[in-house]
A and B are shown apart, each in its own frame.
Chain A
Amino acid sequence: MTTPVLDVRSLAFAYPDGHQALFGVDLHVHAGERVALLGPNGAGKTTLVLHLNGILSGESGDGAGSVAVSGLPVTKKNLLEIRRRVGIVFQDPDDQLFMGSVRADVGFGPANLGLKGAALERRVMDALDQVGMADFADRPPHHLSFGQRRRVAVATVLAMEPEILVLDEPSSNLDPASRRELADILRGLDVTLLMVTHDLPYALELCPRAVVLSDGRVVADGSTYDVLTDEALMRAHRLELPWGFDPRTIAVDSLPR
């Protein structure tokens, strides 16, 4: 068995105010997988995500367990390399795009990694190309539409050539066309993907595997189709399919593999 890209072992965490968010989470993601992380509000999804690149750790609260990325443990000493390997796209693109132009924003990460000049420029334009935003390099981010900002936010992370791309609610606040365009982009990326979402049809469309987090524990880990059609499991963890949506009516060969 190869080393998993993401190796989370019995991770527990309590915030400094005493709120226990995670109770021993185990999660392994292998190279090339696309995994949906599902769960009701307050299940601990965001807390888990912030552990993946060391923003949260036992040091910032009360925690136990370990996280490793491609074999490299998440510790203070390794933070820069960990943050290169794990690219997190946050929910609100306005939080992620903080520079004066799209180009500067996408260049921020690689420049922090020490890239310069033509190599940096190439990295930036490659990342923008992948999300179809190359023509907007010189625009200030706040002049773009919401969907465009979300795509640039994905590019800011792609520019760091991460081993795993972590997306927090990628489809939230997008109109249906932008939502579909983003799905096309994500499907085309050659990168391991972990996607936190409430949008269950989106999870089914993009991710062959789904992990359900509920009350700080992993309660299910299997094929997205099996998870979404397990009615008892869905009911027990406040997961609901949108009205009129039935995974069983979807042709099997159109599901992602």
Chain B
Amino acid sequence: MGAGHGHRLHFHGHSVVHRAPAHLKILVLLGFVLGVVATPREWYPVFGGYLALVLGVVVLARVPLRYLLPRMVIEVPFLLFAALVPFVAEGERIAVHVVGGWELSLSESGLLAAWGLVAKGTLGVLASLTLAATTEPAEVLRGLQRLRLPDLLVQIMGFMIRYLDVVTSDLARMLTAMRSRGVDPRSPRHWPALARTLGALFVRSYERGERVHLAMLSRGYDGRLPEEAR
């Protein structure tokens, strides 16, 4: 069976950061991210301070950086976008010498915008990963609940966490079945087949949703998750 592996973001531990109440951690994360976003990007030393702060928390939580860094690949698409900005942005251009006597003409305001994106994005992702590494998903949900997030949203997130593994293992089995019949999901030639598979996965998950709803109704569900069962 596909189930049985833990959540990929949580790093088991018993540090002060792990033990801190989840709603507090969520509030601190929110405040931190808002602060980072609101900081003018020219205040370079402040960003250094932010980075030191996050790394301090990471060290305090005793989560190895080796654990966090590979998980930061989620940021790569934003980094690629940021790398493009200096080439396409308007405004004053500056020439940058590169090896071999080549010269690159870059937009100065673009460079600044790219720096802002990279710095703020990286800090945000690193801080969020630290929260995820030190807080069980169920704890995050309870924290959000204590912060009075609408109940329906918390329920939806709970189901998402519960069924993530089920749906990914569904997909893995479908891909295995594709490969067993000589279709390589990675080859563009077979993308139409992959697209149909994803469509089928959507339908399957939708039908599972209906069955789960039936099972909930069968146990007296009336639209609200009971307070006590959380």
Residues of A within 8 A of B (CB): 50, 53, 55, 80, 83-84, 87-88, 90, 92, 94-96, 98-101, 104-105, 107-109, 111-113, 115-117, 120, 140-146, 156-157, 160
Distance in Å: Cβ of A51 to nearest Cβ of chain B: 12
Interface of B is mostly: helix
Distance in Å: Cβ of A236 to nearest Cβ of chain B: 32
Q: Is B229 interfacial (CB-CB < 8 Å)?
A: yes
CA distance A50 to B226 in the complex (A): 24
Q: Is B4 interfacial (CB-CB < 8 Å)?
A: yes
Contacts of B4 in A (CB 8 A): 142-143, 145
CB nearest to B209 among chain A residues: A95
Contacts of A113 in B (CB 8 A): 220
Q: Is B211 interfacial (CB-CB < 8 Å)?
A: yes
CB nearest to A86 among chain B residues: B218
Given A83-B219, A107-B228: A142 in contact with B165 (beta carbons within 8 A): yes
CA distance A98 to B162 in the complex (A): 6
Q: Let me know if A90 and B215 touch, CB within 8 A.
A: yes
Q: Let me know if A157 and B219 touch, CB within 8 A.
A: yes
CB nearest to A113 among chain B residues: B220
Q: Let me know if B211 and A55 touch, CB within 8 A.
A: no
Given A116-B228, A156-B219: A98 in contact with B6 (beta carbons within 8 A): no
> Which among B159, B165, B226 is the interface contact of A98 at CB below 8 angstroms?
B159
Contacts of A157 in B (CB 8 A): 219
Q: Let me know if B137 and A98 touch, CB within 8 A.
A: no
CA distance A180 to B200 in the complex (A): 35
> Which among A80, A94, A100, A111 is the interface contact of B227 at CB below 8 angstroms?
A111
CA distance A205 to B212 in the complex (A): 30
Q: Let me know if A100 and B218 touch, CB within 8 A.
A: no
Q: Is B161 interfacial (CB-CB < 8 Å)?
A: yes
Given A100-B137, A116-B228: A53 in contact with B162 (beta carbons within 8 A): no
Q: Let me know if B219 and A160 touch, CB within 8 A.
A: yes
Contacts of B221 in A (CB 8 A): 108, 112
The number of chain B residues touching the other chain, given as a range, is 20 to 34
Interface residues of B in 203-230 (CB under 8 A from A): 208, 211-212, 214-222, 225-230
> Which among B6, B161, B219 is the interface contact of A109 at CB below 8 angstroms?
B219
CB nearest to A103 among chain B residues: B229
A-B contact pairs, 26 of them (CB 8 A): A50-B214, A53-B218, A55-B217, A80-B222, A83-B217, A88-B218, A90-B211, A92-B211, A95-B208, A95-B212, A95-B214, A98-B212, A98-B215, A100-B138, A101-B138, A107-B226, A107-B229, A108-B225, A112-B221, A116-B228, A117-B228, A120-B228, A141-B162, A146-B1, A157-B219, A160-B219
Q: Let me know if B212 and A142 touch, CB within 8 A.
A: no
Q: Let me know if B220 and A84 touch, CB within 8 A.
A: yes
18 more CB-based (< 8 A) A-B contacts, given A83-B218, A141-B162: A53-B218, A87-B218, A94-B208, A95-B208, A95-B212, A98-B159, A98-B162, A98-B163, A99-B158, A100-B161, A100-B162, A111-B229, A112-B222, A117-B228, A142-B3, A142-B165, A144-B3, A146-B1
> Which among A55, A104, A116, A156 is the interface contact of B214 at CB below 8 angstroms?
A55
